[in-house]
Chains A and B, each alone.
Chain A
Amino acid sequence: MENAPVCSTAPSSEGAALQCPLMAQIEARSLTKTFRVPEREGGLAAALAGLLRRRYRTVEAVAGIDFTIAEGEMVGFLGPNGAGKTTTLKMLTGLLHPTSGRATVLGYEPWRRESAFLRRVSMVMGQRTQLNWDLPAMDSFLVHLAVYGVDRSAGRRTLDELVELLDIGDCLRKQVRTLSLGERMRCEICVALLHRPAVLFLDEPTLGLDIAMQARIRRFVADYNRREGATVMLTSHYMADVTALCRRIIVIDHGRILFDGALADLARRLAPFKVVTVDLAGDLDGYALERLGAVLARGFRKATLRVPKERVAEVIGRLLADLPVLDLTVADPPVEEIIAQVLDGRGAPA
């Protein structure tokens, strides 16, 4: 595995990926997907009328998005349910044909589903399984290797390696339906990586897993990205997945991109606030915190405030002067809050 060092995960300054002269691996230009969905009112009469003449409504799932992802980058794709994340991933893997616009992945047009293309990509969907429920996981693995035409000894090596890294040695001989969710998910990831894809699409890979298992899967994905130099595109509901793994995020809602850039930039550009937390030696005694900023939490001897950036110094000074402060921290607001702000349209779109 003598892969070139991967820029986006190298511990360098932000925006490293931009300075890195790597080839674009995923490109979307005005990529659009609309669906026609049948529409009817509730009630029996409407149902009967619907049988005779269906009315359709056109829904724009992805409304002309543009982005470029370089080789080895790991990008978080964020947005609420129905924002168009999965639809975009499906277009990039060739499962859906775009209504208009174009996309290239590894230089191929995905929807042609050329086998040379399909051999180099993979997809994991958190809520769906590609393993056969009735078979032991090992059988699904062997079939997968054969279907992808992986050389027997190379396949064996990859398999052993993945089984060890994912710690699924005990699951191999068990029927997939008897596995726990965490075990099954690790097997799903194993099968998806057996052919060593250069581009990996992860759609909600940690859905429903407990915190420890989420962290484990995260570590594994980060490691895979580093070792193989694979490009990874990840959607997740868990912000922690994205903040832990991805330097760059793309926020999408109603099929449009609201933000595309470094996670750190998102906070800087879109959150003109700091969160100030103080621990006190004595009671607040009805001290008028509201004058200093929005009160996020107010405890017996503890308080959290949201303060505009330009007032931080002033507020800290006042707090130190007025109250018996034991400890004081200033932090960026949580990413969840910033994203929520972007989605509310309060932040300036990128």
Chain B
Amino acid sequence: MRYLRLIGLFAKVSVQNDAAYRADFAAHVAVTLLNFAAELVGLWTIFSNTGSLGGWNAWHMLALLGVFRGMYGIIGLFISPNMRRIMDDVRQGTLDFVLIKPVNAQFYASFRGLVVWRLADILLGAVLVAAACARLSAEVTVAGLALFVAMLACGVTIIYSFWLVLATGAFWLTRVTNMEMVFWNVFEAGRYPVEIYPPAVRWMLTYVVPLAFLTTFPAGSLIGKVEPFNVAAAAGFAALALAGASWFWRFGLRRYSGASA
């Protein structure tokens, strides 16, 4: 409860300050829309040549694109900015001020700032998913929607854990920013369903780089395109990733304070 209130306060402070840069905000939204237009053109190009992509039709793909946008927005909203700040803090020695606070350090470090204009991405994603659902009303069920929300939550947990591990790496390596570039390049592959890739790559994108859990499976669950095994895998993987990442974070802190040496 107290932690929820704190998140509320962090959000409020971020909104107030982002609102102070209205021109910035507008520019960001414009870029988002341009990006989106390019994606639509790409989709239109593909589907003017074929009716289905790995079993996904144009409306399915629109839902997937919506999930991709939304996930992109969530990462940009709170995950990547806070994780980047952890890395900066480690480099500059200001992590001390995080550790000295009487709240859980992982919580505080993970939520202390939000990049508010990223809500535009999330909103756009939601609109796309809603539009696709409206069009696909025959395929979308209430259970499917509930599963979609649950799978989305798993996806967010997994990607948060992934980033936390990346940020914790800063305790050992001082330059982790290159890893971030690699991440964004790989993440781009998430705008297509993993079904279009050859089996070996598909397997990799599911179990090695768990990209499928971020976009394909949530979108798939909406339209009944996800196997029960993968639902269980998503839940298990999310729980495991969060526990593992939190452990790694604490391990990093122990090393930082010299408790493990």
Contact = CB atoms under 8 A, between A and B. Distances in A.
A119 B13 CA distance: 22
Contact of B94 (A90, A96, A113, A129): A129
Interface stretch (B4-12, B38-46, B190-198): B4-12
Interface in A132-156: 132, 134-136, 139, 142-143, 146-149
Given A135-B13, A142-B13, A115 B103 contact: yes
A99 B254 CA distance: 12
A167 to B, nearest CB: 24
Contacts of A121: 100
A94 B100 contact: yes
B108 interface: yes
B96 A118 contact: no
A147 B5 contact: no
A149 B108 CA distance: 14
A143 B10 contact: yes
A128 interface: yes
Contacts of A291: none
Contact of A33 (B10, B97, B108, B258): B258
A99 B17 CA distance: 43
Interface string A96-120: 1101000000000001010110110
A113 B94 CA distance: 17
Main secondary structure, interface of B, reads helix
A99 B261 CA distance: 8
B261 to A, nearest CB: 7
Nearest to B92: A128
Contacts of A113: 99
Interface residues of B, number: 26
A99 B259 CA distance: 8
A339 B97 CA distance: 31
A97 B6 contact: no
A35 interface: yes
A147 B257 contact: no
A31 interface: no
A218 to B, nearest CB: 23
Interface string B244-257: 00000000001001
B102 A147 contact: yes
Contacts of A111: 257, 259
Nearest to A115: B102
Contacts of A122: 100
Contacts of A36: 261
Contacts of B6: 146-147
A178 interface: no
A113 to B, nearest CB: 7
A140 to B, nearest CB: 9
A95 B16 CA distance: 32
B94 A97 contact: no
Contact of B102 (A95, A96, A128, A148): A148
Given A135-B13, A139-B13, A125 B258 contact: no
A245 interface: no
A93 interface: yes
Contacts of A130: 94, 97
A119 B101 CA distance: 8
B254 to A, nearest CB: 8
A134 B94 CA distance: 15
Contact of A35 (B5, B13, B102, B258): B258
A113 B103 CA distance: 10
Contacts of A159: none
Nearest to B104: A115
A147 B108 contact: yes
B2 A97 contact: no
B228 interface: no
A27 to B, nearest CB: 20
B93 interface: yes
Interface string B12-42: 0100110000000000000000000000000
B99 A94 contact: yes
A149 B113 CA distance: 18
A118 B93 contact: no
A257 to B, nearest CB: 21
B103 A95 contact: no
B238 to A, nearest CB: 28
A119 B102 contact: yes
A252 interface: no
B94 A128 contact: yes
Given A95-B257, A96-B257, A118 B101 contact: yes
B100 A95 contact: yes
Contacts of B103: 115, 147
Interface of B: 2, 5-6, 9-10, 13, 16-17, 92-94, 96-97, 99-103, 108, 112-113, 254, 257-259, 261
17 contacts: A94-B99, A97-B258, A111-B257, A115-B102, A115-B103, A118-B100, A122-B100, A123-B96, A125-B96, A128-B92, A128-B97, A135-B13, A139-B17, A143-B10, A146-B5, A147-B6, A149-B2
Given A94-B100, A99-B258, A129-B94, 10 more contacts: A95-B257, A97-B257, A111-B259, A113-B99, A118-B102, A123-B96, A128-B94, A128-B96, A135-B13, A136-B17
In the A-B complex, list the 8 residue pairs whose CB atoms are closest, starting with the nearest.
A97-B259, A115-B102, A130-B97, A118-B102, A97-B257, A119-B102, A139-B13, A97-B258
